[in-house]
């Protein structure tokens, strides 16, 4: 074995020193034009949610019965009427902006709560012993087999139909999705060799689960969560439609869609604009989560770091 | 005159996101009837690409055959309509692969899969069945009538490779392409499969194209050899010629890197053992994976555990490290029994015993940077080092294993296989252990990289006074590295002793089998070994 021990120079790949983290993230976002548009749109939505009710709260509830179902694109009117007026002559654009707050609060709250609870239970079920896993999984089966709308009706009938309760109900019904996914992934990842390597070093269970397993599982769960965002928005609207969700004069996009339903044949814009807001928000979240999955994975990141070449 | 198969000036490019890779450049070779040509090369040398081009297995895109021709009996395969090419594939040119399990469909019986080879080329069903049975008998499947209706998982690795060979031979092809046919197999099984291939080649008068990284396999079966490096042919000639008088520096380097030639180590002096394993036993259900293993490791000593798959050598490592709980027995480190130690005390001992795993691609977390991977040891054991000194220490460790400080912020996938294993070694060293258990730590690496890593391990042993428990299946490697050797078979320790004793005067038949089965890169020596093996078989 007359071989020198140092590796040949060609073996090492030359990679320049990385720029600061925030700069490289922005640069990667700029590379993916779809994700960039999505991010801008979401910033606008968040801005509306935070400041909308403060700025346009009055205008959104201002009835004007002469302007019932005003058609959109009438630019001679005040700018809040450009998207038309609803059945009570209230400006649609202002209402959409104001409704963003409730909609976002319910959807984000329910998705985050179910994501965190579901993932935690899934990690426990996947990594610990059989007994805990059995209890958790059967619990998930119970929730899954129970019609979610029925559950919501029962709970909201007994409790006050407020934003907080709505979040709780929607979160509970979505927990099993994260739970089952994270458990299945954990069962696979825990057998990988780097987990064994951490065990040999004496790493605690907490460390193995949060440092080694969770980062591998997280991208899948985040993708599911963004898809779920739309589902929760629509579920909330169906509850509102049944009269056990958000109560007028409070508004959400989902409620606006269902309120406009009775005028669909005569005034399509009542349902269309809030529906479009729901679609665009979900689409943006999806595009952004797709970008994030690539950007967070060191193996895939180069796809965003190299400049696009023509094929 | 025309050859059976001739590749002329073949150039294949792969268009990837990082740019165009020239997989093979201007490669020419030929194969005649009844001859065995070996294409030898390390990973990434392009040795499989020209054979894939012959079999029409290159995905285009990203692959592109830029220039050249592949002549089969004088007819260019690349200009042929795909209809006719499909007809040739399997019927005239057949192929066997490295991993027979992933190339046999798990939901069909093996009999069906072999006869399918014939029915797709237009043979009637009953005839195909008869021929399948005949082939299964020929490749040495015992009780072939009943095995016809069994599924791939019911066979052993060697038997599956035999079935693949039977499938390839179904249409009596003129050319058999074997891509690393024995790499996934144990040495004794490898010897059997290679012999079967040789016999069949003579019987059918086929041309055998063998793609391998193993000089020993070349010495055993090849008539001629083509050595490839970085997409180019650097040397060609008869196996004898290339081994005895290599011309190109790469070939010289490759031959020099082959283990099993160096001085054997003398046993280290008597001392208090670092690790003392006492009647260790592990039972899974009714299966005894480890049967009363007893051995000791002295300070600064390398003890190699050799054995074939299923011999219990990895189970031994896992029970000592408490990745699995032992059924009975004890393993003493520093007077304390690792097997029955409570969790808190075990945590302290973890520092002293570390492990380097087989495949560095899997044993390093892909989402952590090199700095995070190595410094995790300090995060787990905070008493080793204050946080302010982590960076300096990681840098020192990386330099110790032959990497650079600048590598700290990179991720594992940006390194080559050998470099990754260096990172894994640096991680193990971070805890300042006394004993490192290496589970097949170099078997996933190329021969020349293997030699470098072994050299590194030797140096670290000298510098830091480490002991190694080195688990391996590769005997020549063990011969160069170990002080003492433990031979295992079926969960039991068959024989143990100083390396010289085991290699020069083995007592047990199993040890002798292993020694004669492991191929030697010198065709002359290999011929002698084969003779010895035949005699051993006769006496049995």
Per-residue model confidence as pLDDT tens digits over A117-140: 999 999 988 888 788 888 888 988
Task: Say which residue the tokens 């393993």 belong to.
Answer: B331
> Are B225 and B311 in the same domain?
no
> Are B380 and B406 in the same domain?
yes
At A311 the pLDDT is 36
CB B227 within 8 A of CB B236: yes
CB atoms A1 and B427 under 8 Å: no
* Residue A8 within a domain: no
Give the mean pLDDT of chain B.
85
CB atoms A192 and B362 under 8 Å: yes
A16 pLDDT above the threshold of 60 = no
CB atoms B355 and A200 under 8 Å: yes
Nearest CA in chain A to B424: A197
At B526 the pLDDT is 81
Span A249-274, average pLDDT = 83
Q: How does residue A115 score in pLDDT terms, banded at 50, 70 and 90?
A: very high
Number of domains in chain B: 3
CB A10 within 8 A of CB B411: no
Task: Quote the DSSP letter at residue B482.
Answer: -
CA distance A224 to chain B (A): 20
Tokens coding B310: 């299923």
Instruction: Write out chain B residues lying below 8 Å of A294, CB-based.
Output: none
> Are B374 and B348 in the same domain?
no
Instruction: Write out chain B residues lying below 8 Å of A303, CB-based.
Output: 17
CA distance A222 to chain B (A): 16
Q: What is the domain-level CATH number for residue A227? A: 1.10.3720.10
Q: Which domain holds residue B505?
A: 275-352+433-520
Instruction: Write out chain A residues lying below 8 Å of B257, CB-based.
Output: 1, 3
At A72 the pLDDT is 74
Span A149-166, average pLDDT = 79
Which of A84-93, A196-205, B198-207 has the weakest average pLDDT? Answer: A84-93
Span B11-31, average pLDDT = 82
Per-residue model confidence as pLDDT tens digits over B405-459: 888 888 888 888 888 888 999 999 898 899 999 988 888 788 888 888 888 899 9
> Are B380 and B461 in the same domain?
no
> Are B393 and B496 in the same domain?
no
At B437 the pLDDT is 92
B326 pLDDT above the threshold of 80 = yes
Span B174-192, average pLDDT = 83
Q: Which domain holds residue A121?
A: 24-69+76-305
CB atoms B262 and A3 under 8 Å: no
* Residue B318 within a domain: yes
* Percentage above 70 pLDDT, chain A: 90
CA distance B357 to chain A (A): 8
CB B276 within 8 A of CB B329: no
Tokens coding B164: 């693949």
Q: How does residue A181 score in pLDDT terms, banded at 50, 70 and 90?
A: very high
CB atoms B376 and A4 under 8 Å: no
| Count of CB pairs separated by less than 8 Å, A with B | 109
From the list B259, B347, B416, the residue facing A1 with the nearest CB is: B259
How are strands ordered across the β-sheet holding B492-498?
B353-356, B435-439, B467-472, B302-306, B484-489, B492-498
Q: Between A113 and B82, whose confidence is greater?
A: A113
CB atoms A3 and B451 under 8 Å: yes
CB atoms A3 and B452 under 8 Å: yes
Contacts of B151 by beta carbon, 8 Å cutoff, 6+ apart: B106, B107, B108, B109, B110
How far is C-alpha B248 from the geometric centre of its chain's CA atoms?
A: 25
* Percentage above 90 pLDDT, chain A: 8
Instruction: Write out chain B residues lying below 8 Å of A204, CB-based.
Output: 380
* Residue A264 within a domain: yes
Per-residue model confidence as pLDDT tens digits over A45-64: 898 888 888 777 777 777 77
Per-residue model confidence as pLDDT tens digits over B349-400: 888 899 998 888 888 988 888 999 999 988 888 888 888 888 899 998 998 8
A152 pLDDT above the threshold of 60 = yes
Nearest CA in chain A to B358: A193
Q: How does residue A179 score in pLDDT terms, banded at 50, 70 and 90?
A: very high
At B382 the pLDDT is 85
The whole-angstrom separation of Cα B460 and Cα B164 is 44
A111 pLDDT above the threshold of 90 = yes
> Are B154 and B282 in the same domain?
no
* Residue B19 within a domain: no
B61 pLDDT above the threshold of 70 = no
SS3 labels along chain A: CCCCCCCCHHHCCCCCCCCCHHHHHHHHHHHCHHHHHHHHHHHHHHHHHHHHHHHHHHHHHCCCHHHCCCCCCCCCCCHHHCCCECCCCCEHHHHHHHHHHHHHHHHHHHHHHHHHHHHHHHHHHHHCCHHHHHHHHHHHHHHHHCCHHHHHHHHHHHCCCCHHHHHHHHHHHHHHHHHHHHHHHHHHHCCCHHHHHHHHHCCCHHHHHHHHHHHHHHHHHHHHHHHHHHHHHHHHHHHHHCCCCCCCCCCCHHHHHHHHHHHCCCCCHHHHHHHHHHHHHHHHHHHHHHHHHHHHCCCCCHHHHCCCCCC
CB atoms B480 and A6 under 8 Å: no
B85 pLDDT above the threshold of 90 = no
* Residue A17 within a domain: no
Question: Sign of torsion, CA B186 B188 B190 B192?
Answer: negative
* Residue A11 within a domain: no
Asked if the interface predicted TM-score (ipTM) of this complex is over 0.95, the answer is no
Q: How does residue A109 score in pLDDT terms, banded at 50, 70 and 90?
A: very high
> Are B247 and B381 in the same domain?
no
> Are B204 and B291 in the same domain?
no
> Are B382 and B440 in the same domain?
no
> Are B287 and B211 in the same domain?
no
A6 pLDDT above the threshold of 80 = no
The CA-based angle B489-B492-B494, given to 5 degrees, is: 70
From the list B256, B416, B455, the residue facing A11 with the nearest CB is: B416
CB atoms A298 and B413 under 8 Å: yes
B42 pLDDT above the threshold of 90 = no
CB atoms A194 and B376 under 8 Å: no
Where on the phi/psi map is residue B224: left (φ > 0), alpha (ψ -120 to 50), or beta? beta
Q: How does residue A112 score in pLDDT terms, banded at 50, 70 and 90?
A: very high
Which of B407, B430, B453 is the last residue in one of the domains? B430
* Residue B38 within a domain: yes
Task: Say which residue the tokens 């237009």 belong to.
Answer: B122
CB atoms B350 and A3 under 8 Å: no
At B18 the pLDDT is 67
> Are B348 and B445 in the same domain?
yes
* Residue B511 within a domain: yes
- Asked if A210 is an interface residue toward chain B (Cβ–Cβ < 8 A), one would say no
* Residue A267 within a domain: yes
Number of domains in chain A: 1
Per-residue model confidence as pLDDT tens digits over B231-243: 888 888 888 888 8
CB atoms A201 and B366 under 8 Å: no
Beta B275-284 vs B302-306: how paired, if at all? unpaired
**Mutate which of A197, A219, A309 to disrupt the B interface (most B C-beta within 10 Å)?**
A197
Q: What is the domain-level CATH number for residue B98? A: 3.40.50.300
CA distance A200 to chain B (A): 7
Q: How does residue A18 score in pLDDT terms, banded at 50, 70 and 90?
A: low
Per-residue model confidence as pLDDT tens digits over A210-245: 888 998 888 889 888 888 887 888 788 777 767 777
B169 pLDDT above the threshold of 70 = yes
Which of B178-192, B238-252, B415-429 has the weakest average pLDDT? Answer: B178-192
From the list A3, A7, A194, the residue facing B364 with the nearest CB is: A194
**Mutate which of A201, A203, A217 to disrupt the B interface (most B C-beta within 10 Å)?**
A201
* Residue B286 within a domain: yes
Q: Which three-class secondary structure state does DSSP give residue B207?
A: strand
Tokens coding B17: 């996101």
* Percentage above 70 pLDDT, chain B: 99
From the list B350, B409, B410, the residue facing A202 with the nearest CB is: B350
> Are B227 and B87 in the same domain?
yes
Q: Which residues pair with B237 in a beta bridge?
A: B225
């Amino acid at each position: 074995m007359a071989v020198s021990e140092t590796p040949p120079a060609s073996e090492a790949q030359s990679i320049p020193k990385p720029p600061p983290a925030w700069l490289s993230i922005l640069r990667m976002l700029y590379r993916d034009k779809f994700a960039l548009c999505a991010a801008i749109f979401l910033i606008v939505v968040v801005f509306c949610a935070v400041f909308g009710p403060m700025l346009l709260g009055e205008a959104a509830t201002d009835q004007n019965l002469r302007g019932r179902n005003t058609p959109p694109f009438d630019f001679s009117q005040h700018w809040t009427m450009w998207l038309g007026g609803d059945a009570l002559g209230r400006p649609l654009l202002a209402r959409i902006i104001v409704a963003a707050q409730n909609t976002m609060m319910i959807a984000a709250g329910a998705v985050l709560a179910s994501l965190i609870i579901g993932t935690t239970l899934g990690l426990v079920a996947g990594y610990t012993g059989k007994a805990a896993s059995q209890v958790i999984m059967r619990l998930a089966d119970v929730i899954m087999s129970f019609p979610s709308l029925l559950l919501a009706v029962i709970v909201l009938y007994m409790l006050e139909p407020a934003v907080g309760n709505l979040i709780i109900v929607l979160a509970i019904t979505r927990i099993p999705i994260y739970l089952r996914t994270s458990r299945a992934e954990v069962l696979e990842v825990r057998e990988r060799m780097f987990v064994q390597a951490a065990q040999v070093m004496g790493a605690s269970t907490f460390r193995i689960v949060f440092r080694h397993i969770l980062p591998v599982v997280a991208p899948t769960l985040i993708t599911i969560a963004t898809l779920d965002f739309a589902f929760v928005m629509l579920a909330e609207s169906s509850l509102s439609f049944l009269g056990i969700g958000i109560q007028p004069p409070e508004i959400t996009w989902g409620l606006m869609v269902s309120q406009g339903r009775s005028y669909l044949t005569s005034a399509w814009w009542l349902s269309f604009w809030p529906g479009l807001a729901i679609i665009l928000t979900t689409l943006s979240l999806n595009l952004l989560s797709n970008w994030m999955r690539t950007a967070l994975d060191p193996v895939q990141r180069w796809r965003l770091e190299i400049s696009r070449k023509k094929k | 005159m025309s050859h059976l198969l001739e590749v002329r000036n073949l150039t294949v490019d792969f268009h990837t996101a990082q740019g165009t890779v020239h997989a093979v450049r201007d490669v020419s070779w030929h194969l005649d009837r009844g001859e065995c040509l070996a294409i030898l090369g390390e990973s990434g040398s392009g040795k499989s690409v020209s054979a894939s081009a012959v079999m029409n297995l290159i995905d285009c895109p990203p692959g592109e055959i830029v220039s050249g021709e592949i002549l089969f009996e004088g007819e260019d395969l690349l200009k042929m309509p795909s209809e006719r090419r499909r007809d040739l594939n399997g019927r005239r040119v057949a192929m066997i692969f490295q991993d027979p399990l992933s190339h046999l469909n798990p939901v069909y019986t093996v009999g069906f899969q072999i006869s399918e080879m014939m029915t797709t080329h237009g043979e009637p069903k009953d005839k195909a069945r008869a021929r399948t049975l005949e082939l299964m008998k020929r490749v040495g499947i015992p009780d072939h009538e009943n095995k016809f209706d069994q599924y791939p998982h019911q066979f052993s690795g060697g038997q599956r490779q035999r079935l693949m060979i039977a499938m390839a031979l179904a249409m009596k092809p003129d050319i058999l392409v074997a891509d690393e046919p024995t790499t996934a197999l144990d040495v004794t099984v490898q010897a059997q499969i290679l012999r079967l291939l040789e016999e069949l080649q003579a019987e059918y008068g086929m041309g055998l194209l063998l793609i391998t990284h193993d000089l020993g396999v070349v010495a055993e079966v090849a008539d001629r050899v083509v050595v490839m490096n970085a997409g180019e042919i650097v040397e060609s000639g008869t196996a004898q010629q290339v081994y005895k008088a290599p011309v190109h520096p790469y070939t010289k380097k490759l031959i020099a890197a082959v283990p099993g030639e160096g001085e054997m180590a003398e046993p280290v002096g008597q001392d208090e053992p670092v690790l003392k394993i006492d009647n260790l036993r592990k039972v899974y259900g009714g299966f005894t994976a480890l049967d009363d293993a007893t051995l000791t490791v002295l300070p600064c000593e390398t003890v190699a555990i050799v054995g074939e798959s299923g011999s219990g050598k990895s189970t031994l490592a896992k029970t000592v490290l408490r990745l699995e709980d032992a059924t009975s027995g004890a393993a003493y480190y520093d007077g304390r029994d690792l097997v029955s130690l409570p969790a808190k005390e075990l945590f302290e001992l973890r520092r002293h015993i570390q492990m380097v795993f087989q495949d560095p691609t899997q044993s390093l977390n892909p989402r952590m940077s090199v700095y995070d991977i190595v410094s995790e040891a300090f995060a787990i054991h905070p008493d080793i080092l204050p946080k302010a000194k982590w960076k300096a220490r990681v840098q020192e460790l990386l330099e110790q294993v032959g990497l650079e400080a600048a590598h700290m912020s990179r991720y594992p996938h940006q390194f080559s296989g050998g470099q990754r294993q260096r990172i894994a070694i640096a991680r193990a060293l971070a805890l300042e252990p006394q004993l490192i258990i290496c589970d097949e730590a170099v078997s996933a690496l190329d021969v020349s990289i293997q030699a470098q890593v072994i050299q590194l391990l030797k140096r670290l042993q000298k510098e830091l006074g480490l002991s190694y428990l080195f688990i391996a299946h590769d005997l020549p490697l063990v011969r160069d590295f170990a002080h003492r050797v433990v031979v295992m078979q079926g969960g039991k320790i068959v024989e143990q002793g100083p390396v010289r004793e085991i290699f020069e005067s083995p007592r047990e038949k199993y040890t002798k089998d292993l020694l004669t089965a492991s191929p030697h890169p010198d065709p002359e020596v290999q011929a002698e070994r084969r003779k010895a093996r035949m005699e051993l078989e006769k006496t049995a």
